[in-house]
Structure 1
């Protein structure tokens, strides 16, 4: 005869019975996540503009800290909360590690500065981001960098495989822009890039070029970029092992879809960037917010 020991929670020994989120400090309630993943909302659009610009500047410094500053290449755009027909973009040839909120440039969809600024804007960056913002009103921010792993994996013109839990956030949420039309200095090329995203995709691999990620907040776009760059690095490592005869095991479609639904909500992805934001602000002694 076997006996079962029951714990104080009423669960058999060796099993764990989780308390609800309301009953403790657990950060996950499978039935309700709204209280955990909260994106700030604003009634004052000027206050929202200030907040969003600070997070955008912090994204640049975070990318620099992660080693993705590459000369004058790379850009982030942010749809202006006050006037959604305008968007913020980084000044040309300003090092990401020195970026402050006050450095960002506000332009209209013709590339004209809306506010006085001593800075110039990267023409290719403007065309890419202007095309995306016009094509997708739901996209409020976009990040495009020539990061090492993304740039390397883009040479294959392929998406990434569902190799682990982290890559599952890109399940049916990643497109590939095949072909390379050179530096994006023509509006037609910008429109083709925007078209490659389609109506509901948030992330894009640009063949022979790099990565582009989008979001409803700049935090979401930045978190997607960090995750996609690491997914590309992971893919390259896995391909190297597979080339030596080690077979890959893939996450199943059902499991990948479920994991994506859990990890790629706007609030969840937004929260993924908050530790990086807090660290960036601390390391800059608050200068990034100026």
Structure 2
């Protein structure tokens, strides 16, 4: 029996959007073989969420292959695939603590890990960075995320922010929708790329002034709601329909 016939229309749409998100991460080269994750809450009161099957490349993830689990990591729908326990630790912690975090993306991009290893982290060097700095937190590295006690420290560090740099590890974004989570990561990743390119010139860098940064912090939520992920997401889906329409299978 096809997965689509076994789930609600809302869940199927979430599956399609999440599979699309995985494919776009692969398209941009942000994936790390099978070792990072994007999760999304299943609509409804059950507190279930979808995460990638451990062992599939991001370019192979489809709507039907996503694994549905509860907050304890138990599969709540039959699947031939398992999930990554380290990925589950990070994502379940945020989904449980943040009702607004319907989608959580964690990546190990080269640029993201590089910025995460800098003592100064991400600086106000670009307009992209300002949107991030308006809602950015840091979490210190504690080893591979298998320790469930780390969950409390992780969500405490995250607070109510939507961007996180995990020291010596990578990047994380969360938002109420898959589209907004993807857009957040696009902006964060681009900010990291720009900073490293600028620093690589060896030339003196210009910081955006503190008063502009402060102004952006107060306006960011209004601006991002006005020009959020929903504007770009239909175009992303059209691109995927041209490139690899099997993400909807």
Both proteins in one fold, TM over 0.5? yes
2:230 aligned with 1:275: no
Tell me which of 198, 207, 215 is aligned to 2:175. 215
Give the direction of change, closer, same or farther, for the CA distance of 1:187–1:256 in structure 2 (3 Å limit): same
Gaps of 5+ in 2: 1-6
- Write the deviation string for residues 12-60 of structure 1: whole angstroms up to 9, x where unpaired: xxxxxxxxxxxxxxxxxxxxxxxxxxxxxxxxx9222111110100010
Paired position in structure 2 for 1:61: 23
Q: Is contact 2:101-2:176 (8 Å) kept? A: yes
RMSD (Å) for aligned C-alpha atoms: 2.0
Question: Which contiguous aligned blocks of 4+ residues in structure 1 show a shift greater than 4 angstroms?
Answer: none
Deviation digits for residues 82-134 of structure 1 (CA, Å, limit 9, x no counterpart): 34411111000201111110010000111110001000100000111111111
Q: What SS does the corresponding residue of 1:187 show, helix, strand or coil?
A: coil
Residue in structure 2 matching 1:108, options 45, 56, 70: 70
Q: 1:245 to 1:145 in 2, by over 3 A?
A: closer
Alignment of 1:1-290 (within 5 A): 46-178=8-140, 180-198=141-159, 200-241=160-201, 244-251=202-209, 252-257=212-217, 260-265=220-225, 268-284=228-244, 286-290=245-249
Q: Which has the larger radius of gyration?
A: 1
The answer to whether the Cα contact below 8 Å between 1:169 and 1:263 also exists between their aligned partners in 2 is no
- Shift of residue 165 of structure 1? 2.4
Q: Distance in 2 between matches of 1:264 and 1:84?
A: 29
- CA 1:205–1:188: 2 relative to 1, 3 Å: same
| Cα 1:115/1:189, change in 2 over 3 Å | same
Give the Å deviation of 1:275. Answer: 2.4
Change (3 A) 1:117 1:162: same
Which structure shows the bigger proportion of residues in helix conformation? 2
Count of residues paired in the alignment: 241
User: Distance between the aligned counterparts of 2:101 and 2:34, measured in 1?
Assistant: 24
Q: 1:222 to 1:96 in 2, by over 3 A?
A: same
SS state at 1:238 partner: helix
